[in-house]
Amino acid sequence: APVEQVYDFWQNFENFPRFMENIESIQKTGPDTTHWKTRGPMGMAVEWDAKTISLQENQKIACQSVDGTIETHGAVTFA
């Protein structure tokens, strides 16, 4: 698919449950914040809040958990 189309799909985190089986939901809570719900080991519910730290159009998306929740971060690049 064209990089623009893939980037647009990925920048809407609410799409993640469509292709990531352990993600139950991701809800936008602010302009650059989201609330994540996943299934962890043995089906246990795991939730955290995250902040988008990089949105480079058609190049990169990165986010990390906020203080007071579990520690996680991730990034994806597009070429």
Could you say which residues of the chain have pLDDT below 70?
none
* pLDDT reported for residue 43: 82
pTM above 0.85? yes
CA distance 24 to 38: 5
Instruction: Tell me the pairing of strands 23-28 and 33-39.
Output: antiparallel
CA 37, 40, 43: angle at the middle one, nearest 5? 100
* pLDDT reported for residue 55: 96
Kindly state the DSSP code that residue 9 receives in the 8-state scheme. H
